[in-house]
Amino acid sequence: MAVDYLVIVFYMAAMLAMGWWGMRRAKSKSEFLVAGRRLGPTMYSGTMAAIVLGGASTIGGVGLGYKHGLSGAWMVFAIGLGLLALSIFFSARIARLKVYTVSEMLDLRYGGRAGIISGVVMWAYTLMLAVTSTIAYATIFDVLFDMNRTLAIILGGSVVVAYSTLGGMWSITLTDMVQFVVKTIGVLLLLLPIAVVKAGGFSEMKAQLPTGYFDPLGIGGETIFTYVLIYTFGMLIGQDIWQRVFTARSDSTAKWGGTVAGTYCLAYALAGAVIGTAAKVLYPDLGSADDAFATIVKNELPMGVRGLVLAAALAAVMSTSSGALIACATVANNDIWARLRGLTTAPGTDRDEVRGNRVFILLMGLAVIGTAIALNNVVEALTVAYNLLVGGLLVPILGGLLWKRGTAQGALAAVTVGGLAVIGLMATYGILANEPILYGLLSSLAVYVVVSLATRPTDEAVLAAWRERLAGRSPEPVSEEVPVSQ
């Protein structure tokens, strides 16, 4: 195990070193929050894939494969489909807006009256997403070090908070690129073939398991529909995902780089399901399906390789955790605190924006670690996050992009009614039920259409400015100017 320990320690030290290096580059708000909007296709694809494929996609994806077989790939597959849809249909327009948050996009589209409420909903989503990723540290460190759950969360969370606070998006981009490479090698190139060979190959797996394990739809049509509704649509509107789109240096980078990342997600989904299926052959009586990843890594991989694969799992968790953390801090500072402060602070007051965002990352990081220690159920926390996001914000965001007649009043009504409906229905039917997201989304859509049609159309000057931003013809704000890349 000594070699495995050295691999993990070296990996975490490298993450901190990259955070320090990123701090030297993050000299402006644009550099700190969106890496200067200048990532090329290779880094953009790698970091986008890294953020969407976190602990839930890795440990949870293998667990679903253990429980359902190949159809367990559908959760991560839905994430890949959402990323493909975002990249092909919306990413170029989103990148041209030159904003920092989803709420700023809503303000541009609807005339500056939809931001703070949507900001609160988005903040709740990104906070819970960061929490669920942080909880996963306990599983990884328990396998490697037999470490206490609270200590594991503090250790893993502190590393992410440290490098994210130091260098912002530059640090996160660099670490995510390393994490993408590590989990590609660890999961796709090492764990996948080793697991299949240890299980006796596909022929032996088919002989040992029920035929339902190899049915692509075995998990059930209703479950697949729910995954698509929550995760595919969630990929279209999440602040953590949009903030990565904002880092692209061109329309084509956002579109084609994201398409490559989405395709990678589909392959990763299948790999996780196959690994889980192999684990079912090797360990048919595990107490929890989510233990499948840790068990097969701990018992079937040779020394050194085991450390690298655990580093891959750690990379998956860290990439999602850091992306959600900077998204949470960006929303808290720019969409909520700045607006509240604006009520009492004179416009134009000088303030250090990089320092302010750095402070908010630290504060949100501490809140995430504390909440992760207090919570146990990762699935429920993640479901609450996505239900609030999709139920409250999907309609006004896509409506703003696709329907000219949508109004600020309609958007505010959709956010409020959809969000409250989801909360009420989760209390009635249960957090994991399908009804909250389905009926919450339908109520949000109905209210958006009715209220928009019943109120005065959005001012033509607002729409004209919106169209200019969508077309990329508006000048870059002075505060966002960055040096030309070498």
Q: What are the tens digits of pLDDT across the range 336-368?
A: 888 777 654 444 443 467 888 889 999 999 999
pLDDT at 28 over 90: no
Q: Which residues contact 334 (CB under 8 A, 6 or more apart)?
A: 100, 101, 103, 104, 357
Confidence class for position 289, pLDDT limits 50, 70, 90: confident
Q: Flag whether the pTM goes above 0.75.
A: yes
Confidence class for position 73, pLDDT limits 50, 70, 90: very high
* Residues 195-215, mean pLDDT to the nearest whole number: 93
Smallest CA-to-CA distance from 49 within 244, 188, 229, 193 is with 244
Question: What element of type H or E holds 370?
Answer: helix 353-374
pLDDT at 484 over 50: no
The amino acid present at 296, given as its one-letter code, is I
Q: Which residues contact 470 (CB under 8 A, 6 or more apart)?
A: 93, 96, 97
Q: Taking phi first (over 0 means left), then psi (-120 to 50 degrees means alpha), and beta for anything else, what does residue 476 get? A: beta
> How much is the mean pLDDT over the chain?
85
* Residues 8-35, mean pLDDT to the nearest whole number: 79
pLDDT tens digits, one per residue of 106-136? 888 888 766 677 888 889 888 888 888 888 7
pLDDT at 165 over 90: no
Half-sphere exposure of 42 (CA within 13 A, CB side): 4
Q: What are phi and psi of 248, to 5 degrees?
A: -65, 140
Instruction: Look at residue 34 in the predicted model and tell me its pLDDT.
Output: 86
Confidence class for position 486, pLDDT limits 50, 70, 90: very low
Instruction: Look at residue 432 in the predicted model and tell me its pLDDT.
Output: 78
- Among the ranges given (77-81, 151-155, 251-255, 376-380), the one the predictor scored with the smallest mean pLDDT: 376-380
- Which tokens go with 196? 């299949």
Q: How far apart are CA 388 and CA 383, in angstroms?
A: 8
DSSP 114: S
pLDDT tens digits, one per residue of 170-185? 888 888 888 889 889 9
User: What whole-number percentage of the chain has pLDDT above 90?
Assistant: 37
Q: Of 70-84, 149-163, 379-393, 456-470, give the range with the top mean pLDDT.
A: 70-84
Instruction: Look at residue 201 in the predicted model and tell me its pLDDT.
Output: 93
pLDDT tens digits, one per residue of 231-269? 898 899 888 899 999 999 988 999 999 999 999 999 999
